[in-house]
Chains A and B, each alone.
Chain A
């Protein structure tokens, strides 16, 4: 694998790495004939990010693993710290950097970042490859009821009203307006917490389609990170979400060269945070990591609490090629509306080698009202221990 990124785009990549670093500690890289994908997952597996850089983002692009002859792409995991080190100050990067080359040195098992700066200075970072796994999450984004496109400014200004101690935000949408609140856990001492609510009229947004009124709750930390990313690149933000318990997907793209997806798990809100006066509701299990989660999901509809990320870790030899569906959901749009089927397909995809090539077009803005299968729920992930089964069992 070898690719060359021209100066102005190095800054974009730098911003991307900095945004991803606020999600997870490890960075997964994957190359395909059409693009390079960067992915990360946070430690509690409630937030996932994927950024895809298309071929045109690069001035030279060769996805192949060793040479032009073989058809294998790269799959590897590096430490986020190492990646950050190569992009220390993305704000100044465009002024100093002429281009960046990323190359795989298969023999030493290193990923090499070569930054050519002005005045003949060359910085080379030899980054160790920790693993040769691929990772990817399964989520729905194209067939959801609620879609909002917002200028990057609106939401970050709104978040400016919250306290730095707030850790979750709660968004209520109806056809007239979007209301953000800081999420107040029922375990918190109400006499110590400021409850804040911001109401933004729907007219402020570029597009605002609410198919189903709902309230979703997710973490602020990652939300701030992705807003900072959109703001740094001066690009609008698309929100795609369904009902509470299902992941919310944020999309930032510039049409041609790259597309970023940030997926945050949403939790069921149990506490009336601001408006209502009585608070008698019992505390339900809110977070998978806090509670057993198992009993909870049996009692309720299975899609109330969804584990957003299904990590398809592949146990493989170093540099072995693993075929992986890029976007399983897209691939299945046509056939299933049932979670059991979808599940079996996921497994099938992992198991067999003859999968159709990954679909490339992801932005199907117009297909809003097609109701797709309900769930991205994967019971295997609930058990917590095994996130995905080995596909190539010995």
Chain B
């Protein structure tokens, strides 16, 4: 098993730092899957026991690394799966934004480590400094790989463009302070509504004129609570109740410069948030719906 990769361009280094930092905000631990084409960061739900990943991030290696070598266990199993503490990686990469070069490799120094060698310019002279971080990792055995496969998701009922993440995040964070659950409602007319309801208050924030990417309507609401929506044609809306905190966490991804963010809803069951960047990084977050 061998892995070695080198990054020299500042753009990708900054982006990589932002991605890792976002992931460290979303979870304590993550799995880094290395394959010949892509790197994957995979986060499962915190509660133990096998559960489908909550976060799935794909990074194409060729746009980020100038050198990239990987040798798996054997010809059949070419990938490497590493378990690591996300914060360890993000803290070690904190100086990467000003660095000249990053080398990543798999080493064995008393325990398996992901070793980062960062060459940084000196602030006071022409010299360079060499910083090395040995981050302890766990090599995940082949029989557990199946737990980290890309989740199979049902066809979403609707996909709608999200408003600016920063704006959405401030609103969600206010709501988070008042209520642990938020109802996300999307309509085929391009409206996205966030609603909370507590003993003290009912708050609803509406964003309109958003692009609808896909609509598989009409939506069958026959089994739902008789909450009459007078203004809207309810067959053209779908909704899902989710954990406010999880939704807010995904929104911290706004530090990654992105092209588009899309919210897909499987009526009452699942919300899929997807962010895509120019370099073809895809960050997806799966938030299961809360059903009473």
Contact = CB atoms under 8 A, between A and B. Distances in A.
B135 A194 contact: yes
B110 A279 contact: yes
A196 B136 contact: no
Contact of A196 (B85, B124, B131): B131
A193 B124 CA distance: 30
Contacts of A154: 122-124
Nearest to A189: B136
Nearest to B128: A201
A214 interface: no
Contacts of B111: 190-191
Nearest to B133: A196
A71 interface: no
Contacts of A352: none
Nearest to B138: A191
B135 A151 contact: no
Determine chain B's interface SS by DSSP, over half rule.
strand
A159 B111 CA distance: 24
B108 interface: yes
Nearest to B137: A191
Interface in B86-144: 88, 91-92, 94-95, 108-111, 113, 122-125, 127-136, 138
Interface in B183-233: none
A148 interface: no
Interface residues of B, number: 26
Contact of B134 (A199, A201, A204, A274): A274
A163 interface: yes
Contacts of B85: 192
Contacts of A122: none
A198 interface: yes
B237 to A, nearest CB: 47
Nearest to B112: A191
Contact of A160 (B95, B109, B135): B95
A204 B124 CA distance: 7
Contacts of B135: 194
Interface in A177-222: 190-201, 203-204
B124 A277 contact: no
A381 B264 CA distance: 70
Contact of B109 (A153, A198, A200, A277): A277
B124 A153 contact: yes
A157 interface: yes
B124 A195 contact: no
Contact of B88 (A161, A194, A199, A201): A194
Contacts of A277: 108-110
Nearest to A275: B109
Nearest to B107: A277
Given A153-B123, A190-B136, A199 B110 contact: no
Interface in A269-287: 274, 277, 279
Nearest to A157: B123
B138 A274 contact: no
B124 A151 contact: yes
A223 B94 CA distance: 21
B110 A163 contact: no
A163 to B, nearest CB: 6
Contacts of A191: 111, 136, 138
Interface string B41-67: 000000000000000000000000000
Nearest to B113: A195
A201 B127 contact: yes
B95 to A, nearest CB: 6
A232 interface: no
A157 B88 CA distance: 19
A194 B129 contact: no
Contacts of A382: none
B123 A203 contact: no
A190 B133 CA distance: 13
B39 to A, nearest CB: 20
B130 A190 contact: no
A33 B123 CA distance: 42
A112 interface: no
Kindly name the residue among B85, B113, B127 whose own CB sees the greatest number of chain A CB atoms within 10 A.
B127
Given A160-B95, A203-B125, A195 B134 contact: yes
B136 A199 contact: no
A199 B129 contact: yes
13 contacts: A153-B124, A154-B123, A160-B94, A161-B131, A190-B110, A192-B85, A194-B134, A195-B134, A196-B92, A197-B131, A198-B129, A198-B131, A277-B108
Smallest CB-CB A-B distances: 5 pairs: A195-B134, A199-B130, A191-B136, A197-B132, A201-B127
Interface of B: 85, 88, 91-92, 94-95, 108-111, 113, 122-125, 127-136, 138
